[in-house]
Amino acid sequence: MTARAIGPLSLNTVTVKERWGLAECIEGCARHGIPGISPWRDVLQAMGVERAARQIRDAGLHVSGLCRGGMFPANDAAGRRAAIADNRRAIDEAQAIGAACLVMVCGGLPPGSRDLPGARAMVRDGLAEILPYARDAGVVLGLEPLHPGTCADRSVLSTLGQALDLCDALGPGMGVAVDVYHVWWDPDLDRQMARAGSRIAGFHVCDWLVPTTDLVFDRGMMGDGVIDIPAVRAMAEAAGYRGALECELLSRRWWGEDPDRVLETIKERHATVC
């Protein structure tokens, strides 16, 4: 292994979502010596934002992100307005816990729609509308390109290049959250990582299993799949990224495991694989 400029390790709470709430995740990170955390909004709200912010601070944890804002496309104006309002609340929450970014999962096609350019326009318009609020809050919007397998129902933002085009168009306050699972296949990845430069606001790891039996909930533990994680990490480092390496694992198999064993495994794979 080469020396890593990226650190600290961070736990995304979805990784143990079936068994631990946010309080258990905070305690678990402290107990296992994992220095970072990235909550999803459901567990954050369940714990209470202020209480969570205090306990995260007291535990000395770095907050590598808040998951997630976005989900802009909707079939009517009321739905799009509701998404904007919800994104403002997400920005407030990200500010309250000092998150390095608000991870943006931008949304797929509205139900019944085949209008991909239309959905992309809704994403751009939604981002433009919340960006001033995010800037005022000092919260970076970290656009997460999602694997093309989720284009229909989760994110019409599918590549890092597309995310950076949006960053270019929208200006300061925009960044990208790079998850190796979503981008590893991209033939343009090294060029786009270099282009991203200081706009990389988050770096997520897990692995691509062969076979993959579910488009969303069958991600692998680092080292169990085919992604050359060190190669992508090296691209992020070369681009200047020095933030957290966050493990975000949506996996029915790992959700069934004892969370303490999951955290031990993450630490071990972080040291040997990432």
Return residues touching a second copy (CB under 8 A).
109, 113-116, 120, 147-149, 151-153, 156, 158-159, 161-162, 165, 184-188, 208, 210-212, 215, 225-228
Q: What is the largest CA-CA distance in the chain?
A: 51
The Cβ of residue 19 has, within 10 Å, a number of other Cβ atoms equal to 14
Shortest spacing between CB 264 and a second copy, in angstroms: 24
Shortest spacing between CB 28 and a second copy, in angstroms: 30
Cis peptide before 132 (omega within 30 of 0): no
Residue that the structure tokens 């085949």 belong to? 114
Is 3 or 210 the residue whose CB approaches a second copy more closely? 210
Q: Write b or e for each residue in 34-48: b if 16 or more Cβ atoms lie within 10 A of its Cβ, otherwise e.
A: bbbbbbbbebbeebe
Shortest spacing between CB 132 and a second copy, in angstroms: 25
Q: What does DSSP assign to residue 218?
A: B
The Cβ of residue 143 has, within 10 Å, a number of other Cβ atoms equal to 32
β-strand pairing of 200-205 with 245-247: parallel
Shortest spacing between CB 204 and a second copy, in angstroms: 17
